[in-house]
Structure 1
Amino acid sequence: MSSVRPLEAADIDQVAALYLETFLRRGKSPSLDLITCLENFYLSGPTVDRQIPSLVHVNDKGAISGFVGVNVVPMKFSENRLRAAFGGTLMVRDREQDPMAGARLLKTFLSGPQDLSLSETANTTSLEMAKALRGVPFASYSLEWMRILKPAAFACDMALRKSSLRKWALPAARGLDWLHGWSGYAGGRVAKDAARTAKAEPVKHVDAEAFAGSVEILTSHYQLRPDWPGPQWRHVVREAFEKPLYGQPVAALVTGNGSPIGAFLYHLREGGVGRVLQMLALPGREGKVIDCLLADADRRGAAGLRGRTHPAFLEAMLGRNMMFANVTNTVAFCRDEAIIDCFRRGQALANGLAGESWGRHIGGNFT
């Protein structure tokens, strides 16, 4: 008979194989780097809470056939402290043979002692299960935004980013983009407008330590936010920098009168589409931060940018030629209606550094 139990160290090899099969599909055995990464994140890292463990589904033959990874984030809601548990990396092998495995994993996760349960990576199947279990999805946290800077290179990178043909097609795409820019392509003009606007707000590129040091002042206005001490924030940001599949990390503070008014962190492969992990801004400065981000990426030759929406930035994105799509969803489970209302009002900091996507298992190169 199948069962659900806490993840153990002896399970990691099987979990890594399932991860490779589900998300990377390379048909190979998991590398030692992947095994170590998952072990660190789900068994020994600073977001591990023994009372709220990651879970495995064991089939009637004793093999691991499912997994949900859990990382626990201490949060502050107004002046109250609580534990938020992010359940992600939900995966099940042979769903047809045991269609309830995913639901059992999710129900066991939700029965833990956490004050708030969250997912920022719920796909369509997980979303339907979450709704059946009274989860509340939030559209304003669940959209992926995209901004094209160089249309031909953008199309090339999106279509061939995992192909060896990319390095041959990209130079031709850049040539087409040069012709577009020379002819006054509207997207290029918007990028130049952003650059002019960004000149008024100095941008200082920083390392992981300096970026982590700015987070508290740039997030203190949120009613619900992570409540990590400094060393834990530094660990999270250092891990977030390491995403070689996405490219080199670019982190910067946007300053006004010598003090930070915003920040951004993204990863960029040469000539490709940058992946924005985090944008932060003091209230009313969101548009400035977006303009500085666009200008910075344009100067570095990025084909475009993509990232996850947050309500605080949505209005500022209007008029900046953004496109939006729904790929994965942010869902919350909580009996406290005041916390759910906090999300509805956009006063909760979630996703990115305040979620699970900062982990090195997302964007790592595990060949």
Structure 2
Amino acid sequence: MTPIRPLERDDLPAVARLYELVIRSGTEQPPAGLAGYFEQTVLDQPFADPELPSLVYDDPRLGVVGFIASYPRRFALGERTVRLACSGQLVAHPEVRSRGVGALLMRAYMNGPQALTLTDGATDEVRAMWERLGGVTNAIASLSWTRVIGPAGYAAGIARKRRGRDGNPAGQAPAAGVWSAVDELVGRPLRPAAPAARSQPLSADALLELLERLKRSFPLRPAYDAAALTWLFRQMERVTARGELVRRLVRAADDRPLGWYVAYVPAGGVAQALQVVAGRGDVGPVLDALVHDAGARGAVAVSGRVDPWLYPELVERRCIFRRAAWALLHSGDDELLAAVGFGRGLLTRMDGEWWMGPHVLDAGALEQAAAG
């Protein structure tokens, strides 16, 4: 019998111990809420599909020593519905890595009945395994963009990370006056002007209505329903370690809906865009609304994944581009791959593991999230 099988509810404590060991603290003593968090987001999610389950590697002697999370989605492609499988957290116990447990789980998952398998948070090691199994790299989606708002705060954040990585003492930080001088010299041109468009809170119903209007721009698009989308927003809001979840519908001066954005905005930090969506000719105003809103909430920059429909407008707005985690695809459907490759597929950070919190939430936040 194969040691790879679908995840069962009774496996959750073992999965939590494995994840704590490999990803979080390096011990096998997970916080009480970690198993419950996986239960909420993996087993009890409204997008769950029994034919696209999360998988475990169940060793006869050692028990559960490998895990790959599954986040299924249904998408529309023209007039047909297709199933997507978003590959999530992939972990293998250190004692069995030499057996290729991670690659075996990945191969089993990619060989499911879905039309397209994808992931957007892959390491170099995962990318190498993925491509050996017949997958491809989604090159443009493997880049990130950053629009700096406050250069002093942005530079200070980079310096703090570098000091932490290099082990330098905090006392070696540049003086506050240096950052003030940076802002005075280069900050003014970067401060976003008030946008011509206006924004309002984005409801699940408003997103679904506008998504239907944009089906010509995005033949491949999520087939959400209001209940599932509401659940998704609620779960995203609970990942408070990433900042406040901000979701806004953007309208032109004549009240015409242009598009929307969903982003995490931490005061004093870098906002992270999860979805920035608009039709042709309307992307610029939606981006401007996002950047201005993030700045008004105290963010020092806005960052996100480079989606094809955003790229021309990002260049115009003096964004910084760099390599991010690898975005990977696997499919035997050339129409699907072409839709993604030519920017006609609305695949964003909302439909994957990127926003999730098992590795960033503390014990208290995990317990709250697991409570439902």
TM-score (norm 2): 0.86
Deviation at 1:3, TM superposition (A): 1.9
1:299 aligns with 2:266: no
Match of 2:347 among 343, 346, 350: 350
What SS does structure 2 have at the residue aligned with 1:70? strand
Residue 234 of structure 1: which of 226, 230, 234 is its match?
A: 230
SS of residue paired to 1:42 = helix
Listed one character per residue, the Cα deviations across residues 146-180 of structure 1 (whole Å, up to 9, x for unaligned) are: 222223322333454798xxxx99x9877644433
Match of 1:87 in 2: 87
1:121 aligned counterpart, secondary structure: strand
Residue 244 of structure 1: aligned partner: 240
Q: Secondary structure at the match of 1:353?
A: helix
Identity of aligned residues (%): 26
Q: Tell me how far apart the structure 1 counterparts of residues 132 and 293 of structure 2 sit (CA, whole Å).
A: 43
1:216 and 2:211 correspond: yes
Listed as ranges, the matches of 1:132-147 within 5 Å are 132-147=132-147
Residues 87 and 117 of structure 2 are in contact (CA less than 8 Å); yes or no, is this contact kept in structure 1?
Answer: yes
Partner of 1:179: 181
- CA distance in structure 2 between the partners assigned to 1:358 and 1:114 by the alignment: 22
Cα distance in 1, alignment partners of residues 246 and 225 from structure 2: 24
Please report how far the alpha carbon of residue 366 of structure 1 lies from its aligned counterpart in structure 2 after TM superposition.
3.6
> For 1:184-217, what per-residue CA distance to the aligned partner results, in whole angstroms no more than 9, with x for missing partners?
x1x53132xx314x1x11122x165466455524
Q: CA 1:159/1:105 → structure 2, altered by over 3 Å: closer, same or farther?
A: farther
Q: Evaluate the alpha carbon distance shift between residue 94 and residue 28 of structure 1 in structure 2; reply closer, same or farther with a 3 A threshold.
A: closer
Alignment root-mean-square deviation, CA: 2.8
Shift of 1:130: 0.9
Q: Which amino acid aligns with 2:231?
A: H
Structure 2 Cα separation of the partners of residues 218 and 266 of structure 1: 22
Give, in angstroms, the shift of residue 296 of structure 1: 1.5
* Aligned 1:12-27 pairs, distance under 5 A: 12-25=12-25, 27=27
Are the equivalent residues in 1 in contact too, given 2:247–2:263 (CA < 8 A)?
A: yes
Distance 2:124 2:326 in 1: 8
Is structure 2 residue 336 aligned with structure 1 residue 339?
yes
Does structure 2 retain, via aligned residues, the 8 Å contact 1:219–1:280? no
- Distance in 1, Cα, partners of 2:247 & 2:328: 28
1:272 counterpart = 2:269 = yes
Aligned partner of 1:43 in structure 2 is 43
Within 2, Cα distance between the matches of 1:211 and 1:356? 24
Q: 1:28 to 1:134 in 2, by over 3 A?
A: closer
- Structure 2 segments unaligned to the other structure (5+ residues): 165-169, 365-372
Instruction: Indicate conservation of the 8 Å contact 2:246/2:262, yes or no.
Output: yes
Distance 1:141 1:345 in 2: 12
Q: Residue 27 of structure 1: CA displacement?
A: 4.2
Question: 1:126: how far off?
Answer: 0.9
Distance (whole Å) between structure 1 residues aligned to residue 359 and residue 314 of structure 2: 26
* CA gap 1:245/1:328 in 2 versus in 1, 3 angstroms: same
Partner SS state of residue 310, structure 1: coil
Give the aligned residue type for 2:259: G
Residues 1:244 and 1:10: Cα distance change in structure 2 (over 3 Å):
same
**CA shift in 2, pair 1:48/1:25, >3 Å:** same
Q: What is residue 55 of structure 1 aligned with on the other side?
A: 55
Name the structure 1 match of 2:116.
116
Give 1:337 shift: 0.9
Number of equivalenced pairs: 356
After superposition, give the CA deviation of every residue in 1:114-165 in whole Å (9 maximum; x if it has no partner).
12211122211111111111112111112122222223322333454798xx
Letter of the aligned partner of 1:103 in structure 2? A
Equivalent residue in structure 2 for 1:195, among 186, 193, 196? 193
Contact 1:212 1:234 survives alignment (8 Å): no
| Deviates most, 99-108 or 56-65 | 56-65
Maintained 8 Å contact 2:87/2:352: no
User: TM-score, normalised to structure 1's length?
Assistant: 0.87
Uncovered stretches (5+) of structure 1, i.e. residues with no partner: none
Partners of 1:158 and 1:40 lie apart in 2 by: 34
Following TM superposition, by how much is the alpha carbon of 1:103 offset from its aligned partner in structure 2, in angstroms?
A: 1.1
Q: Distance in 2 between matches of 1:349 and 1:306?
A: 18
Change (3 A) 1:145 1:53: same
After superposition, give the CA deviation of every residue in 1:4-56 in whole Å (9 maximum; x if it has no partner).
11111111112122223333336472223222111111112112111111011
Question: Cα distance, 1:67 vs. partner?
Answer: 1.0
In the alignment, which residue of structure 1 is the partner of 2:125?
125
Q: Deviations over 1:63-119 (max 9, x none)?
A: 222111001101111111111111121112217753411110011112211122111
In structure 2, the residue matched to 1:290 is 287
